[in-house]
Copies of this chain bind each other. A is one copy, B any other.
Amino acid sequence: MKNNNAAVIDTEYRATIFSALGDPTRLSLVTKLIDGKSHSITTLTTDTHITRQAITKHLRILENVGIVTSIKAGRESLYVLDPKPLESVQKYLAIIANEWDRSLNNLKAFVEKNH
């Protein structure tokens, strides 16, 4: 195998999650949705300086990567957080931190062994 394909796919997937979180508007939408309740688009637009349509686009981006889900309720579209993708990348970042410590310890051991 020229390149670990599963790892590449994971990288692509995680990048889409990070990318979805990489916008202040979307990140504050996520924050608003932490309460576990469902919120309509209009509700999520209040206290915001941008238009409902812009918020709608951001919500679609979050929905496309699975960070939120939506259901129609009458004339409203209700959005709820789904933390699974967030947990996924959270664990990934935790692993990086662990790997980092391991790498530093290995370097330290190497240096001490050869001093």
Contacts and interface: CB of A to CB of B under 8 A. Distances in A.
A28 B11 contact: yes
A96 B30 contact: yes
A90 B90 CA distance: 5
Q: How many identical chains are in the complex?
A: 2
B21 A15 contact: yes
B107 A83 contact: no
Interface in A42-93: 47, 81, 83, 86-87, 89-90, 93
Given A11-B27, A27-B11, A103 B18 contact: no
Identify whether the interface residues of A are mostly helix, strand, loop, or mixed.
helix
Interface residues of A, number: 42
A86 B98 CA distance: 12
Interface of A: 3, 7-8, 11-12, 14-24, 26-28, 30-31, 34-37, 47, 81, 83, 86-87, 89-90, 93-94, 96-97, 99-100, 103-104, 106-107
8 contacts: A11-B24, A15-B21, A15-B22, A15-B27, A18-B21, A19-B23, A34-B96, A93-B93
